[in-house]
Amino acid sequence: MKNTKKFPEKGMERSALIAQMKAMSKDDADWRSGRNFAYVYFAGDEILDTVKEAFGMFFSENALNPTAFPSLRKMEAEVIGMAADLLGSDGVVTGSLTSGGTESILMACKTARTWGKKERGIETPEIILPETAHPAFHKACYYFGMKAVVVPVGTDFKAQPEVMEGLINENTVLLVGSAPSYPQGIIDPITEIAGIAKKHKILCHVDACVGGFFLPFLKQFKPDLSPFDFEVEGVTSMSADIHKYGYAAKGASVILYKDAVLRKHQFYVYTEWSGGIYGSPAIAGTRPGGAIAGAWAALNFIGMEGYVKLAQRTMAVRAKLLESLEDIPSLKVLGQPDMSIVCLGSDTLNIYEVGDELSVMGWLIDRQQNPASLHLTLTPAHEKSIDAFVQDLHKAVNKAKQLTLNKLGNKLQVSTVKGLRKVLSESMFEKFQQYAAKYSDVGGKRSAAMYGMMGDLQASGNLDEMILEFLDKLMSDD
Ligand SMILES: Cc1ncc(COP(=O)(O)O)c(C=O)c1O
């Protein structure tokens, strides 16, 4: 595979450089006007500009050495303190700031592994998690040589604690629950899962990456929310992302532990290096001052009152959406979402075709599988777009009713398959063609066909290989 981009001989002029970058962003998701339902959490320009200024102020500072930048050390400690306070700390909960939800989860799993080895002599650690738990747990198992034991969720899309308990053995170090899960936005039965962990004297992680900076505010005006934080007996760690509903700059999450004794299992120290004694709390070495400052600024600028208002506004968007769905009986919400994530499915339509029509109308909406569904993460940015979205949703559903995959044009199929020839190796492409023959419009804005085909590829064991090739190409092409 070739990447033809050459290193620039001379530096570019600043205005030309900025103009080129602006031009490059022209096809990016339009998050400002609320046309995306994932990836960006936007709560208005005032917050954005304040966080940006804070980020810029500490743009060059490096939290690798906390003694060099006491300001960052203080901000980091305060962010951890504020997050712990928000998530039910009894005063001894502590943690670390990381680059995002994935790093926080990696750290929780690595900590459980080290804890298992040191405290229990476990050499082949296992974690038990519901199928809806984020892939970061699988990544952790892959990186750290642990076994992921996946448990199906119930018809309500919640983890099944009794099934999880039945899978505990002498190698189990960690049980996982989400608050809420990403796919359907539902809080797992944390009290039960954590209770089981406590009974078996193992660890319990609550993944509140998406809910950690939303549920505590929601609880202020919806007190019947299922318990999800350190107030629950048996919860030993939590992940919560400030770069999601905390509205901080990307690169900010916290991993919290019930106490400093457990957190110690996360740290890494190397004392033999000729460069000096090296200690590092989490995965990153150099840690960006901007992200820490941005997180500190967001929490202090918005405050409890501000976050509660933002949660209320977001829940009002959700209410509007759910109400309008009553007029679209061919769509259904999967499960009973606890917060601002709504997952749409259908018993009568191909939901991916609905998604395709929405994509064609300029909405960025993620497809999910098992079961087939569309994912919507709502934010205050959707206040201005929700009416237009509902109108387009009606149109998309009507279109999907008329559509079947077979009616889609062959022309589209030819052009996308041509594109895929560039992406896949010869042998993979041949395999792919055998499957693609049955489907049309693979790639492009429409993905209903892609998902149909992926089901087949998965069954044949070829999907992983194809996605790996795709990632390789994505990362190396110019
Ligand atoms: C529940 C949950 N956990 C973990 C993550 C991973 O977070 P990140 O993308 O910041 O690594 C996400 C991301 O959406 C999530 O929703």
For CA atoms 442, 350, 184, 220, the dihedral sign is positive
The values of phi and psi at residue 411, to 5°, are -60, -45
Q: Is 37 strand, coil or helix?
A: coil
Alpha carbon distance 223, 216 (integer Å): 10
Does ligand 1 have an atom closer than 6 angstroms to the CB of 188? no
pTM of the model: 0.89
pLDDT tens, the chain, 478 aa long: 677 889 999 999 999 999 999 999 999 999 999 999 999 999 999 999 999 999 999 999 999 988 999 999 999 999 999 999 999 999 999 999 999 999 999 999 999 999 999 999 999 999 999 999 999 999 999 999 999 999 999 999 999 999 999 999 999 999 999 999 999 999 999 999 999 999 999 999 999 999 999 999 999 999 999 999 999 999 999 999 999 999 999 999 999 999 999 999 999 999 999 999 999 999 999 999 999 999 999 999 999 999 999 999 999 999 999 999 999 999 999 999 999 999 999 999 999 999 999 999 999 999 999 999 999 999 999 999 999 999 999 999 999 998 744 444 433 444 455 456 555 666 766 766 666 665 555 555 666 766 666 666 666 666 777 777 666 666 665 5
CB 468 within 8 A of CB 386: no
Atom 7 of ligand 1, residue of closest alpha carbon: 101
The two three-digit tokens of residue 57, written as one number:
């102020």
Does ligand 1 have an atom closer than 6 angstroms to the CB of 386? no
What distance in angstroms lies between residue 409's CA and the mean position of ligand 1's atoms? 37
Does ligand 1 have an atom closer than 6 angstroms to the CB of 251? no
Looking at the chain, how many residues does it have?
478
Does ligand 1 have an atom closer than 6 angstroms to the CB of 134? yes
Does ligand 1 have an atom closer than 6 angstroms to the CB of 212? no
Does ligand 1 have an atom closer than 6 angstroms to the CB of 241? yes
What distance in angstroms lies between residue 10's CA and the mean position of ligand 1's atoms? 39
For CA atoms 45, 49, 55, 60, the dihedral sign is positive
Domains of the chain: 55-299 (3.40.640.10), 407-476 (no CATH)
Residue with tokens 């970061």: 136
What distance in angstroms lies between residue 221's CA and the mean position of ligand 1's atoms? 25
Sorted by sequence, the CB contacts under 8 Å of residue 232 that are 6+ apart come out as 88, 190, 191, 194, 206
Q: Is 446 strand, coil or helix?
A: coil
For CA atoms 113, 118, 120, 124, the dihedral sign is positive
Considering only the C-alpha atoms of the chain, give the largest distance between any 2 of them, rounded to a whole number of Å. 69
Alpha carbon distance 36, 33 (integer Å): 8
Sorted by sequence, the CB contacts under 8 Å of residue 459 that are 6+ apart come out as none
What distance in angstroms lies between residue 184's CA and the mean position of ligand 1's atoms? 13
CB 207 within 8 A of CB 134: yes
